[in-house]
Amino acid sequence: MFPVSRPRRLRATAALRELTAESRVNVSDLVAPLFVREGLDSPQPITSLPGVVQHTVPSLVEEVRALVALGVKGVILFGVPSTKDDIGSGAFDPNGIAQKALRNLRDTFQDDIAIMADLCVDEYTSHGHCGVLDAHGHVDNDKTIDIYCRTAIAQATAGAHVVAPSGMMDGQVGAIRAALDAAGFLDVAIMAYSAKYASAEYGPFRDAVDVRIAGGGDRKGYQQDWRNSREAVREVLEDIEQGADIVMVKPALAYLDVVAEIRRLTPLPLAAYHVSGEYSMLKAAAANGWIDHDATALEHLGAIKRAGADIILTYLTRWYAEHVS
């Protein structure tokens, strides 16, 4: 008779648990989302994102300096302009706030950290949508892609190592890749928000970038339906075919099944965005004493890594680098 199996033997001590852990989150897996706002004299706290601020360009540089010293390997930048218009022209303005910040980061840190730029126009449009609107108030896919291509070139010229199209326009990755290559930016990578859902968990982010969708509208016409997963596979495959270097699922925690499915699908690096709502719910519950912040944060990040993500975009990056790694 065989002895009874006792998996608990390998859980008996902290050392054994560490030796037999199947997945680990490393600080080098994390990307810090950062906001830079035009017209500020000092960093501005974001009430719905505790611990996160809208930066000035100088304070942004100091924040990235601290992250580099802590071993963080990537940041992604979101610009908040002082003025907006109907096409989001600030997104591709060579002197726009994001481009100013990108130039400062690249000049200061060179290749010491991967400098990523969110490539969308919702922060820059007066109506809050991720593209150019047609006469009926719907986002015009092809006109929007033209704006994305101009923005990609502006970001690459300013020093971005990676551009990250997040607007979910059909064909955006292929058009951006062609535009970058034609402009000589063959080494600038594309991290595609390939499976981006029309989630209810983006509220604090919209506070951070000062976005309100006109008329109380939504983005369900171009972002994915939260009920669908096979659609995500189609979107990812199309982005890979068009030249994406990294693919992403957003949000992360509510879509771990999608993260796991995409992991099985492709050997490309896979990113997942632990979004503002996921972060803010954690912070609010911890502030009320309902959960243990640190233990829950580790579970969140661990679940995303275990599901198959190589890269985790999270507002917890600095906390993790300072207190865990």
Catalytic residue among 84, 196, 283, 305: 196
What pLDDT sits at residue 47?
Answer: 95
Q: Report whether pLDDT(188) > 80.
A: yes
Q: Report whether pLDDT(193) > 70.
A: yes
Active site residue 73: no
Residue 313 lies in a domain: yes
Q: Report whether pLDDT(217) > 70.
A: no
Residue 5 lies in a domain: no
What pLDDT sits at residue 135?
Answer: 86
Residue 4 lies in a domain: no
Burial of 17 per CB tally in 10 Å (0-12, 13-18, 19+): exposed
What pLDDT sits at residue 168?
Answer: 87
Q: What is the pLDDT of residues 309-318, one digit of tens each?
A: 999 999 999 9
Cα diameter, the chain = 78
Higher local confidence (pLDDT), 138 or 296: 296
Q: Where are the alpha helices (DSSP H) in the chain?
A: 14-19, 57-69, 97-109, 141-158, 172-182, 203-208, 230-242, 256-265, 276-287, 293-307, 317-323
What pLDDT sits at residue 1?
Answer: 60
Single pTM value for the model:
0.94
- Give me the number of domains the chain comprises: 1
Residues 167 and 148: beta-carbon distance below 8 Å: yes
Active site residue 100: no
Summarize the confidence of residues 293-321 as an average pLDDT: 98
> Phi/psi class of residue 296: alpha, beta or left (left: φ > 0; alpha: ψ in -120 to 50)?
alpha
Q: Report whether pLDDT(226) > 90.
A: yes
What pLDDT sits at residue 80?
Answer: 95
> Phi/psi class of residue 17: alpha, beta or left (left: φ > 0; alpha: ψ in -120 to 50)?
alpha
Residue 7 lies in a domain: no
Instruction: List the CATH number of the domain containing 68.
Output: 3.20.20.70
- Neighbour tally for 183: CB within 10 Å: 14
What pLDDT sits at residue 320?
Answer: 98
Residue 117, domain extent? 25-323
Residue 111 lies in a domain: yes
What pLDDT sits at residue 184?
Answer: 98
Residue 255 lies in a domain: yes
In sequence order, the 6+-apart residues with CB closer than 8 A to the CB of 22 are 306
Residue 169 lies in a domain: yes
Q: What is the pLDDT of residues 72-122, one digit of tens each?
A: 999 999 999 999 999 999 999 999 999 999 999 999 999 999 999 999 988
Summarize the confidence of residues 229-234 as an average pLDDT: 95
Q: What is the pLDDT of residues 3-44, one digit of tens each?
A: 777 888 899 999 999 999 999 999 999 999 999 999 999 999
Instruction: At 209, give phi and psi (nearest 5°).
Output: -105, 10
Residues 250 and 304: beta-carbon distance below 8 Å: no
Summarize the confidence of residues 224-237 as an average pLDDT: 95
Mean pLDDT of the chain: 94
**Sorting pLDDT into bands at 50, 70 and 90, what band is 216?**
low
What pLDDT sits at residue 219?
Answer: 80
- Both tokens assigned to 226: 């939260």
What pLDDT sits at residue 213?
Answer: 79
Q: Report whether pLDDT(129) > 90.
A: no
Residue 15 lies in a domain: no
Q: Report whether pLDDT(137) > 90.
A: no
Burial of 42 per CB tally in 10 Å (0-12, 13-18, 19+): exposed
Catalytic residue among 84, 100, 250, 305: 250
